Structure formats: structure tokens, C-alpha cells
Amino acid sequence: MMKQSLTKLSRHWRKNFNTLCLIFSFAILLAGTTPVKAQSFQNIVGFDQNGKITSLRRSFKNRKTLINFWWVKCSPCKQELPDLLAKEKKYPKADFIYVHAETNPATKAAYKPEVVQQFLDQLNITLPQMIIGNTKARLSAGVEALPTTLLVSPEGKVDQTLVGFTPANTAAIEQWLAQ
């Protein structure tokens, strides 16, 4: 009888512990800014809107650069893109690069440029500098969740990594661009 009670208690504790770990990890993810100092951003190769091969390194112009990773099926991404475009107009001395960073689940390949453009047309937005990559490229850059925004110094070092579209992240982007 005592052994059964200990077994039940152990299972209950493990189940609750795993749930707490999951909740804690999610809370950290939503918390916002995670400074990543002195780390260069990873190069990602993909396609531009015209279907031509391009890369982050080729797009980088030794200026303060915001790199936003997003996906057509990501609801927070849909909300964040217009906000970033408004900031892009307000801060013309910074570069903004938008990386569509997810593999099409139907084809197991990067989304076709026309599919991404169709999505942008539905939102009535245009992304001036866009790279269409895939999940593998996103993960190789250390980006695990979408949307994620990297704030990159003119020297090519990641100043901050911001996960999610939150008021804290929006404020951090505004502050970083204003500096």
C-alpha cells in the first residue's frame, strides 16, 4: 500500500514538475528581450521577391539593421509587420530586412515567392528587403520562435534578440532605433 502511494506521488510530482518547466520556459520566451552581445548574425540564403537567390550578408550594408524573422501562418507576425514598416519609415537611417523563415508543410521546401507575395498583398503591405528562407536556415541562425527580431549593429554584431510581438519588444526596438 505504501509503495503504491509513493508511486502515485512520484508520478504526480513528475507530471506537475514537467508542466511547471514547460510554463517557466514559455514565460521566459514571452518575457521579451534577451541581449546577445558580440555575436555575429548567421548568414541565411534564400530568395528575394523575384525568385533570385540572395542572402543576409549580401543585404547587410554596414548600417544599424533590424532583421525580422516571420512566417505567413504566424498570427503575431501579421500584427508585427505593419508596426515594423511604420518604424522603417520613421527611421530611414536603419536597414530593415524581413526573413520569411519557415518551410511550407505541404511541399517540405521554402515557400514560393508568389505565395509569400499573395499573403503580403492580402495584408496590403510591401516589404522592401525580403528574403524567403526555410526552417533549416532559421534554426541554423539560432531562431527558434516566430516572430523573432535581431537588432544588429553596423559592425554586424547582434545587440539584442527579441522573441515575440510584445509591448516590451516594441519599446526596445523603438529605443534601439532612436539611439
pLDDT at 44: 86
Residues 64 and 150 occupy one common structural domain: yes
Q: How many domains does the chain have?
A: 2
What residues have CB less than 8 Å from 73, skipping those under 6 apart? 102
Q: What is the pLDDT of residue 3?
A: 52
Q: How far apart are CA 20 and CA 125, in angstroms?
A: 40
pLDDT in tens, 96-147: 999 999 999 999 999 999 999 999 999 999 999 999 999 998 998 889 999 9
DSSP code for 49: T
Cβ(91)–Cβ(122) below 8 Å: no
Average pLDDT, the chain: 82
- Spatial separation of the C-alpha atoms in residues 150 and 60, rounded to whole Å: 13
> The CATH number of the domain where 138 resides is what?
3.40.30.10
pLDDT over 70 at 29, yes or no: no
Work out the average pLDDT over 145-153: 96
Q: Cα(111)–Cα(104) distance, rounded to whole angstroms?
A: 5
* pTM score: 0.77
Give pLDDT, residue 83: 97
Claim to verify: residue 109 and residue 21 sit in the same structural domain = no
Residue range of the domain that includes 100 = 34-178
- Return the bridge partners of 163, or none: 148
